[in-house]
Structure 1
Amino acid sequence: MKPYNIIIKPVTDEAGNYFSARVLEFDGCIAAGETKEEAHDNIYEVLEGFIEDMIEKGEEIPEPIGDEHFSGNLRVRLPKSLHKSLSRAAKLEEVSLNQYIVHKLSK
Structure 2
Amino acid sequence: MVNHEHYTYRVTWSEDDQEYVGLCTEFPSLSYLDESRMNALEGICSLVKSVAADMKENGETVPEPISEKAYSGKFMVRIPPEQHRLLAMRAAESGVSLNRYVSSKLV
The question of a shared fold, defined as TM-score above 0.5 by the shorter chain, is answered with: yes
Correspondence list, 1:16-35, <5 A: 17-35=18-36
Q: CA deviation at 1:68?
A: 3.3
Correspondence list, 1:15-94, <5 A: 15=17, 17-66=18-67, 68-69=70-71, 71=73, 73=75, 76-77=99-100, 78=103
Query: Which letter does structure 2 place at the counterpart of 1:63?
Result: E
Unaligned runs of 5+ in 1: 87-107
Closer, same or farther in 2 for the Cα pair 1:36/1:57, shift >3 Å? same
Query: Which letter does structure 2 place at the counterpart of 1:26?
Result: F
Q: Is the 8 A contact 1:29 1:50 kept in 2?
A: no
The size of the alignment, in residue pairs, is 80
Normalised by the length of structure 1, the TM-score is 0.60
Q: CA deviation at 1:26?
A: 1.4
Unaligned runs of 5+ in 2: 78-98
Which whole-Å CA distance do the structure 1 matches of 2:36 and 2:72 have between them?
Answer: 32
- Mapped pair 1:8 → 2:11: yes
Normalised by the length of structure 2, the TM-score is 0.60
Identity %: 21
Q: Which has the larger radius of gyration?
A: 2
Residues 4-63 of structure 1 deviation map (CA, whole Å, 9 limit, x = unaligned) = 0002101112x4x21111111113121111111010110011111111210111011111
Residues 56-103 of structure 1 deviation map (CA, whole Å, 9 limit, x = unaligned) = 110111111137336165563427xx86xx6xxxxxxxxxxxxxxxxx
| Higher RCO (C-alpha 8 Å, min separation 6) | 2
Closer, same or farther in 2 for the Cα pair 1:39/1:3, shift >3 Å? same
